[in-house]
Amino acid sequence: MGQIVSFDPKVEFKPDVKVQAPIQIELGGLPLSLGLFLGSGLAFLVRSQLPQGAAQNVALFAGAGLAVGGILNLMMPKAQAAPVAPKPASAIPTTTAPSSPGGPIAAPPGLEASERYAFDQVTGRVSYPGETETVDIWPTSSTYPITIQLHNAAPIPVTFYVEIIADETPHPFGSEKRTTYPLQVTIGPGQNRDIPVNMPIATWDWAVDYVDVDLTIYKRRIPEEDPVRLASRYFVVE
């Protein structure tokens, strides 16, 4: 007894396939692709005029090949010109103008400009009176004039103390005495400063004809530190 077998040819096949293909269209090849597409269109137009058989097949393959070539030409990456490295800027030599005489000098490399450094750069001298010069004063005077000149060679201002010490030897009578005159001074960077001083005299009186003076100038950064000798001068007060 025969059996009836039914066969259902409808089969649903749903493959779970994810295709990810990066597509990049290069506009630089657009003119060539347009030419290929145009050739493909002409091939398909000519195919309809050809006799059936091998001629139409050749035209079909040619048109399809030209179309595919145009698509591939758009998608193929084009070689890019390597960027031109920027030309390195030529080193511009820098020069430093020489400092003018008496101007500030830069601190040595690695040495921080400071009050102590500036203090060390201060120099000084007695600009008046000259060595062994005689200074005339009135019999009733209690002071005599002197001028000291200070120079700050540092690039920053400095404030410090100056001590003027005078060892007096009166003639023909009297005893030796020492007179001290302190003052505070501020000098700008690279500045020369003349400081006139009315120096007190301790041995001047009616019985004294003249006084030998040994003058010494000291600088002191702060009162607690030891003084540093700047200059000295011998002269006569008469």
Dig out the tokens for 198 from the structure. Answer: 């009315």
Taking the CA atoms of residue 199, residue 142, residue 135 and residue 175 in that order, the dihedral angle to the nearest 10 degrees is: -90
Q: In what order do the strands lie in the sheet with 192-200?
A: 122-128, 143-152, 192-200
The C-alpha atoms of residue 71 and residue 41 are separated, in whole angstroms, by: 14
3-class secondary structure per residue, 111-164: CCCCHHHHHHCEEEEEEECCCCCEECCCCCCCEEEEEEEEEECCCCCEEEEEEE
* Residue whose C-alpha is closest to residue 180's, from 166, 198, 160: 166
Chain segment 127-146, per-residue pLDDT in tens: 999 999 999 999 999 999 99
Per the confidence metrics, is the pTM higher than 0.85? no
Compare 124 and 21 and report the one with higher pLDDT: 124
CB burial of residue 170 (10 Å; 0-12, 13-18, 19+): buried
Stretch 178-187: mean pLDDT:
96
33-45 mean pLDDT: 65
